[in-house]
C-alpha cells in the first residue's frame, strides 16, 4: 500500500494541489496560521483592536443589519451570534442553510439562540430536486 505524505501537524495530504510541505514536513496552511496567530499571547490585543475597528466602521454605516451570521445551531456559530449581539451590540441577521438534514436538536438550538438575542433569522432551502442535483 502506498503511504500518503501528510503535514506533520494537521495531517493534510501533500497530494492536494494547494498543499506545500516545508523541510520539516509542515504545510503552508499551518505556517500561515503560525505567522498570523502563532504568538497569540502577543498578537491577541492587536487582533481584537483590528476586529473592533471593523465593527466601529460597520456601525457607522447605519444599515438595517451590521452583520450576517451563518447559524448552524452548533457551538461556533451560536458563540459568534452571542459575541456580535451581546458583547458588540450589533444588529445581526442570521441565516441557516437547510440542506434537508438539519436535526431537531440543531433547530432547537437555533430557536433558543434567536430567542435569547435581538437577531433576525432566515431559513434558506433550495428545491429538493435541486439539492439532489447538487449532492450528485
Which residues form the interface with Zn ion (CB under 5 A)?
7, 9-10, 27, 30
- The nearest distance, CB 79 to Zn ion, in angstroms, is 24
CA distance 25 to 130: 42
Determine the 3-state secondary structure of 27 from DSSP.
Answer: strand
- The nearest distance, CB 15 to Zn ion, in angstroms, is 13
CA distance 126 to 73: 19
For Zn ion, the closer of residues 37 and 79 by Cβ is 37
For Zn ion, the closer of residues 33 and 124 by Cβ is 33
For Zn ion, the closer of residues 29 and 82 by Cβ is 29
CA distance 67 to 57: 12
Could you count the other beta carbons within 10 Å of the beta carbon of residue 30?
20
How long is the chain?
136
For Zn ion, the closer of residues 10 and 54 by Cβ is 10
- The nearest distance, CB 4 to Zn ion, in angstroms, is 14
For residue 111, the number of C-alpha atoms closer than 13 Å in the C-beta half-sphere is 7
- The nearest distance, CB 3 to Zn ion, in angstroms, is 17
Amino acid at each position: 500500500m502506498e503511504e500518503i505524505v501528510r503535514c506533520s501537524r494537521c495531517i493534510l495530504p501533500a497530494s492536494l494541489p494547494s498543499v506545500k510541505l516545508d523541510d520539516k514536513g509542515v504545510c503552508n496552511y499551518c505556517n500561515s496560521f503560525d505567522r498570523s496567530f502563532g504568538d497569540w499571547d502577543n498578537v491577541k490585543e492587536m487582533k481584537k483592536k483590528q476586529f473592533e475597528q471593523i465593527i466601529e466602521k460597520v456601525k457607522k454605516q447605519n444599515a438595517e443589519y451590521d452583520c450576517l451570521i451563518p447559524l448552524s445551531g452548533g457551538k461556533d456559530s451560536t458563540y459568534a451570534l452571542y459575541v456580535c449581539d451581546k458583547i458588540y451590540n450589533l444588529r445581526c441577521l442570521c441565516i441557516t442553510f437547510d440542506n434537508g438534514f438539519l436535526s431537531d436538536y440543531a433547530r432547537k438550538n437555533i430557536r433558543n439562540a434567536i430567542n435569547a438575542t435581538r437577531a433576525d433569522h432566515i431559513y434558506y432551502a433550495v428545491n429538493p430536486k435541486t439539492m439532489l442535483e447538487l449532492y450528485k
